[in-house]
Structure 1
Amino acid sequence: MSNTTHDAEADADSTAEPRQAAPGAERGVVPVPVSAPVVADPAAPTTATTDTTPATPTAPTAPAKRARAPSRERTFGTKVAGQPAFVLHSYPYKETSLIIDLFTRDFGRVALIAKGAKRPHSQLRGVLQTFQPLSSSWVGKSELRTLTDAEWVGGMLPLEKTALLCGFYLNELLVKLLARDDAHPALFDHYVATLNQLAHNEPAPIVLRKFERALLKETGVSADLSRCTATRAPVRADVVYVVDPERGPRPERASDQSPRVAGKTLLDMEREDYQDAATQSQSKQLMRFLLAHHLGGAPLNTRQILIDLSQL
């Protein structure tokens, strides 16, 4: 080999990057990779101790309770304040109290005990009068609750003479035809309007016919007077009909015992137009017949008085 070749190999060895020895190589120790598992020496004594405490028994899981079905029992509000109302009727209870029948706007007809209302210095004594608008408050869950406050609102003229008897007639109808705790806000408003009309001396027969009709409509026992029940055809003004209290108008028959009413009268009543004399007369007989049916034959004391006065 030539000297040139020998010198080139020597230069290559001198310029090569020296390799770094692994840690511990100089002591002859082979490095262990970090990820390699460490195996314990089987000859080494075991230091872990076994827990010999008996396990606490686990209580059995209680089954989930079924949700209680909502009660269907009828409930009443526990406290009501500032409810518009009118006294329909009252009677003594024990020595110093009253039981009053109120007609309220949002709760219908409710029965209340007015404790101490008969005492001479009771604030309720002069307030619990019929045909006077009241703001009433009460408490209780039962059907007979306790009156806690009643204030006179005012703003209405008092009823006098025949108008007063007509007012008692309205109250008797409400007491006998309305169920307790059944709200009729539209009927309440109609009642207020009727009292105002009577106080302003508007014709009593017309005012009463309108209220009677509204009462039967609100309680769901009045049929449409503008259509024949059997055929659903429109009522004709020139045909004579009878009105079934449960079904409505139908053409008259020879065997009918019910009041006969002209079709024009039925159409006028549906429109609340009582200007015609024949309509006034026939509607009076018809409403007397329908109310007697829905009252189950129970007499109306105030009606008899008004009949005697030729006002009903």
Structure 2
Amino acid sequence: MKASAHSPAWLLHRHPFRNTSLILDLFLPEHGRVGVVARGGRKNPLLAPFRPLWVELKAGGGELFTLRQAEPRGPAMPLAGHALYCGFYINELLVRLLHRDDPHPDLWPAYQRTLAGLAGDTPLDISLRRFEMVLLEDIGYGLVLDHDVDGQPLDPDGLYRWVPEQGLMIDPQGYPGERLLALADDRWNDDLRRLAKTLLREALEPHLGGRPLRSRELFRGGV
């Protein structure tokens, strides 16, 4: 990525660097996740999660860019309580699952929709499950929920287990086919919400490197 004109961005993560600076993980529509040094950034209140930004970046000599300028692109998303923890959760997923400087233009609108859903009336867990499925699809590990590993259409009366990097396999102790098909069609009810939470955790686990998500530990109610 070359030095940029003003680009839309979201801040995913920040940590201190030297006395007054920050290292940022920013998410940009054209460039995906990028690492950025913000010199003197600890004094800038704009450099916070869930605040839409315009940023200007300068390419450095290493893998990190330098933040030239940051301006507000709109009001901060009004996330509070459990919704705030859910926001930290999806940010952590992006930091953990996306490689730096790898464009994900289809994921950008899904991220913005999810933040809007967390700030709105959509049940929090449904917003998260929808985002997890889009994220897995975008990184090449999408859930095929209408066919099994042998390419056979899912039987609504059948039972299936999830096999990482393969798909759904017939298993008498598995998930009901009817509910898996409902998940594929985005038809939610309480039973499906419980199933989706368990299934998506199974699907994400192989890509997290065996390290727990800190945002899950913060949110004891579970996401």
Q: Which residue of the partner structure matches residue 100 of structure 2?
A: 180
Match of 1:251 in 2: 170
Instruction: Show CA shifts across 1:123-148 (max 9, x none).
Output: xx111110011111101153211111
Q: 1: distance between equivalents of 2:75 and 2:16?
A: 28
Cα distance change, pair 305–238 in 1 and its aligned pair in 2 (3 A): farther
Gaps of 5+ in 1: 1-76, 120-124, 255-259
Match of 1:103 among 20, 23, 27: 27
2:179 paired residue number:
265
Would the alpha carbon gap of residues 298 and 116 (structure 1) be closer, same or farther in structure 2, given more than 3 Å must change?
same
Equivalent of 2:112 in 181, 186, 192: 192
Q: Does 1:131 align with 2:23?
A: no
TM-score (normalised: structure 1): 0.68
Establish whether residue 292 from structure 1 lines up as the match of residue 187 from structure 2. no
Aligned position for 2:13 = 89
Distance 2:51 2:179 in 1: 34
Task: Identify the structure with the greater strand proportion.
Answer: 2
TM-score (norm 2): 0.94
Distance 1:305 1:117, change over 3 A: closer
Q: Compared with structure 1, are the counterparts of its residues 159 and 264 closer, same or farther at alpha carbon in structure 2 (3 Å cutoff)?
A: same
- For residues 118 and 148 of structure 2, the distance between their equivalents in structure 1, rounded to whole angstroms, comes to 33
- State the Cα distance separating 1:209 from its structure 2 match: 0.6
The residue type paired with residue 89 of structure 1 is H
Aligned to 1:158: 78
How far apart are residue 253 of structure 1 and its match? Answer: 5.5
* SS at 1:303 equivalent: helix
CA distance in 2, matches of 1:234, 1:204: 31
Alignment of 1:13-28 (within 5 A): none
Larger relative contact order (CA 8 Å, sep ≥ 6)? 2
Partner residue, 1:301 = 214
CA-to-partner distance for each residue in 1:156-212, whole Å, 9 max, x for gaps? Answer: 532111110100001111111111111111111111011011111420111111011
Asked if 1 retains the 8 angstrom alpha-carbon contact of 2:55 and 2:70, the reply is yes
Q: State yes or no: 1:113 paired with 2:26.
A: no
Alignment of 1:282 with 2:195, yes or no, is yes
Paired amino acid for 1:164: L
Match of 1:33 in 2: none
The count of residues paired between Structure 1 and Structure 2 equals: 222
- Residue identity (%): 38
**Matched residues in 2 for 1:265 and 1:148: separation?**
49
1:208 maps to 2:128: yes
Tell me the CA shift for residue 305 of structure 1: 3.2
Task: State the secondary structure of the residue aligned to 1:143.
Answer: coil
